[in-house]
Every structure is written in structure tokens, then in C-alpha cells.
A = this chain, B = another copy of it.
Amino acid sequence: MQAGTKAGTKASVGDMTVEKAKWIYKKMQEIRQFENTVHGIFEKGEIPGFVHLYAGEEAVAVGVCAHLTDSDNITSTHRGHGHCIAKGCDIDGMMAEIFGRSTGLCKGKGGSMHIADVGKGMLGANGIVGAGLPLSIGAGLTAKVKKTDHVAVCFFGDGASNHGTFHESVNMAAIWKLPVIFVCENNGFGEASPFDYAAACDRVSDFAKAYKIAGETVDARNLQDVYEAAGKAVQRARKGEGPTILECLTYRDYGHFEGDTQTYKDKDVQEHALQENDPILRFQNYAKTNEWLSEEQMKAIDAEVKTEIEHAVKFAEESPFPEPSQLTTDVYVSY
């Protein structure tokens, strides 16, 4: 760790440069504000369809994607906004997509559950639990066949870890030594079912041993822990040393989907999660205590993000809905 002379001037903490730390902080803020904003608009009834928010889990997507480039691919879930933002998707395009507008990243055809940006290596949010797991294998396979050093990251939930595709995918990645990182976002619940009930294992990473691959569980309320573990996993993958199961213990601040009454949640745990366990708050405190990012720097970022998100909402609201002619285009490349 390098010493700095005053707050916000350290060149790096651990492996993390100040540049990276700023990027990370901004991405986390983008996700948080994006989700809070969508939450508010959804409540007013202005957003159609099913919406699953990522607030509270920011450190996972951001801590992992901090190690990736546009050439690396990620697969995502129904709770995909955070992954999109962390992977660099355009926020205006995302918001417009959620609003169902023609300027959306998918021209309004996909919606919240299907935001994708293949050019950015974001292979799509996915409405099917467990579907992203095999998809990550394909991206890893392409890297292997084409002999690039690109990696594939599979974000999936604790609930998804009980799906058969988890086993099939991890096994294939292991026998083929694919550059895939299986990032389990263990937020304790699949819908209204607790992980402790639905999964026999103590930790999803416990399976790593049987597959003879690397596995680790981190407290994903600490961005740094995710960042560090993901860094090692990505490095292993790039060097051809095979896959990793990286389990991130996290918490979803909102309900399973917008409209969920969340009766199954423990009030105390929720309170702690929203207060001292909040990953953004913790990162702020850490950055301050370590004289790494200053309060002012972070406030400036907050404000910048606020403007961005407001812009996105305005962009979405002012964008037109798709033309009727769009109904049956894009079914096939050619037919």
C-alpha cells in the first residue's frame, strides 16, 4: 500500500489504483441511483412488465467487472441492471429499454429482463433462471477455440445454484479448463425461499472441491473482498488455469420484484443491510479512512451520476415507442 499525503491523493490501495477506485465508486453509484430511480418510477406505474432491482448488490457486479474489458463476456440474470451498468452498457439506452422505447438498447423489444449489449460483452439479462450458466460456457469456449485470453463471467443467484445447469456448466468448465468465473450472488433468497432451505450445501463454493477447481466465498458487502478474489480468479482464467466458483454473500435491498411485500424478510437483517452493511457506505468509509478518495470527490461523483440518471429518464420519457413495423423485424437475420 502506498502512502498518500492527504485524503483523495493515494495512488493506490492494495492492487487498486485511485483511477480504478473512482471508476468503481461511480459504477456503484450509477447502479444504486439507477435502481432507486426505477423503483420510484415503477411505483408510479410508468414502467411496464416485471422489474427486479439490484440495489444492495452493487459490489458484486462492480467488483468483478472492474477486471474485465469489452472483449470479455458476461452472462446475467433477471436481475441484470447492475451487471449491465458495471459492464459499461449505455445508461440512456438501458433506461429507454426499460421504458419500452425504440431508443432502448434492444429497441424496446426486450425490456428490463432482456437488456443486452453484445458489443460490450454483455450477453443479455435473462428471464430464465439458470440459463446464463451454460451460456457462459459458450463464451469461454469461443475464447479457447480462438485462442484469445478473454474470460467469461457468469453471474447467477443462490436460487439458480440449485438448477441443473449449474452442475452441467461447472463440470464442463472444469473438464475443459475454460476461462469462466462462476459468480454466485448469494443474497439469501430465491424469490421468497431462503437459500438455507432450498440448498443442501452450506456454501455454493463448497462444490468447488468436488469439481477440483478453485472456489471461494467472500463477504460482498466489502467491495475490496470481491475485487481481490475476482482479480485472482480472472487472472487464473486468463492464464488458462481454469474456472473458479466465487460466491459473493450479498443482500437485495428491495423485494424479489417490484411489488413484492417481502413478508419473508427478517426486519433486523434488513435494517443492518441497509445501514452498516451497505456496500456503498462501507466503501465510502473505507476510502475515507484510508485517505484514498475524499468526501468531496465522492460527492462530486454522486452529483455527476445524479445528472446522468436524470438525463436517462428524460431521454427515455422523450423517446418514441417502436413503430408498428418493428413488430416482426429481427425475428430472423433472413427468412
Contact = CB atoms under 8 A, between A and B. Distances in A.
A202 to B, nearest CB: 7
A211 to B, nearest CB: 4
A168 interface: yes
A311 interface: no
Nearest to A210: B206
A157 to B, nearest CB: 15
Contact of A197 (B162, B164, B167, B175): B175
B175 A198 contact: yes
Interface residues of A, number: 24
Contact of A171 (B171, B174, B199, B209): B199
Contacts of A164: 163-168
Interface string A183-202: 00000000000000111111
A305 interface: no
Contacts of A175: 197-200
A267 B90 CA distance: 60
B212 A201 contact: yes
Contact of A207 (B163, B165, B202, B207): B207
Contacts of A210: 200-201, 206-207, 209-210
Given A163-B168, A175-B200, A199-B175, A209 B211 contact: no
A282 B162 CA distance: 41
A168 B168 CA distance: 11
Interface string A207-219: 1011111000000
A167 B199 CA distance: 11
Nearest to A206: B210
B206 A200 contact: no
Nearest to A173: B200
Sorted nearest first, the 6 A-B pairs with minimum C-beta distance are A164-B164, A174-B200, A167-B167, A206-B210, A200-B211, A207-B210
